[in-house]
Amino acid sequence: MESKIKDLIKTGEGIKLEFKEGFNVPSLGKEICAFANESGGKIILGVNDKGVIKGFNLTNSKSSQLQTIARE
């Protein structure tokens, strides 16, 4: 799984791939909505716009927030 994610990061952002360094609820909501209105895509948290892996700690609280954002 790790190598697949690293391969995705190497391809860079595009129509179907977005990097988010942090957990910004409005920004994530917009990206999820945009992907839902098109033909899908992937958001990788913990990676900056230049493709540098910064890391991200997905807590239960943040996981719950993501689920709520995706449902709205």
**Model pTM greater than 0.75?**
yes
User: Which pLDDT score is estimated for 71?
Assistant: 86
DSSP type of residue 22: S
User: Which pLDDT score is estimated for 13?
Assistant: 95
**If 0-12 CB within 10 Å is exposed, 13-18 middle and 19+ buried, where does residue 72 land?**
exposed
β-strand partners of 42: 17
User: Which pLDDT score is estimated for 7?
Assistant: 95
Report which of 35, 36, 56, 44 is spatially closest to residue 10, judged by C-alpha positions: 44
Distance of CA 70 to the CA centre of its chain: 12
User: Which pLDDT score is estimated for 9?
Assistant: 96
The parts of the chain modelled with pLDDT lower than 50 are: none
User: Which pLDDT score is estimated for 15?
Assistant: 92
